[in-house]
Amino acid sequence: MLKLKGVFSALVTPFNQDGSVDYVAFRELIQWQIAEGVAGVCPVGTTGESPTLNSEDHLKVIEAAVAAAEGKVKIIAGTGANSTEEAIDLTKEVLNIGVDATLQVTPYYNKPNAEGLYRHFATVADLGVPVVLYNVPGRSAKEIPLSVVERLAKHPNVCAIKEAAGSVDRVSAIRQFASDLTILSGDDSLTLPMISVGAEGVISVCSNVIPRGMSEMVAAALAGDYAGARALHEKYYPLFRDMFCDTNPIPVKWALALMKKIQPVYRLPLCEPDSAAQAKIENCLKQLALI
């Protein structure tokens, strides 16, 4: 079973001014992430604006991530969908291109029942590539029930779950029945408390901006240095807060643009933050000496 541990950056997808994918900036971003010490990257998740990437873009971005990483870190490719058929098709596309696992979001909008959720995830896992379940009810309008997680944890290809429901309690609950299932925080500000009760890392938005800082905080917590980890949590808490002052990934892309890593370009219906949010993001980065 694949073991995931540490910081996995939920990568943004940089765009050129014409809206096309900026593969040069994307490669440079990944190389910087690796140099700063992340354990892996997660292309084409929510932060990568997956809903606005067509199927051709989707595969090309994942292929570009694999090429840029050069085998130095793990790749968790976002290939989830609210249609099981589409999730299967996307996952089949990445079976043999060098990804380590796929991130499978809870099917959104159609709100399947518990049995439907189980069959959806199990069918994708049957393809053979390791699966990271992605519990994010704020996006999908549906939580993966703990009873479903328990059933899926028995599948040989379900290796982890990303918990982005804002609940530290779910970490403890999952460990009661699936102590071998890796739990990764999906909320930057809850990473430290989640690790304290059994999570093994984070799929992080903020590590786009502070890959080294996030990696140091998680490493300290995993080593049992909670005083050191708490000091870093408190240092970076303003960033954890302000990177969600607007819909993700609007603030983090704006921050990276201020850092001259990417251009401030989005695909509709996402667009730039308003002036108040822009000022908040800029002030936060200045306070942390990131710009």
**Catalytically active residues, by annotation:** 134, 162
Side-chain half-sphere CA neighbours of 4 within 13 A: 32
Specify the amino acid at residue 242: D
Q: Rounded CA gap, 205 and 3, in Å?
A: 21
Q: Rounded CA gap, 93 and 78, in Å?
A: 12
* C-alpha distance across the termini of the chain, in Å: 41
Torsion of CA 14, 92, 123, 134, to 10 degrees: -20
Note whether 143 and 165 are within 8 A (CB).
Answer: yes
Write out the E strands in the chain. Answer: 6-10, 40-42, 74-78, 101-105, 131-135, 158-163, 182-185, 201-204
Specify the amino acid at residue 259: M
Q: Rounded CA gap, 104 and 241, in Å?
A: 26
> Which one, of 177, 124, 166, 126, lies nearest residue 143 by Cα?
166
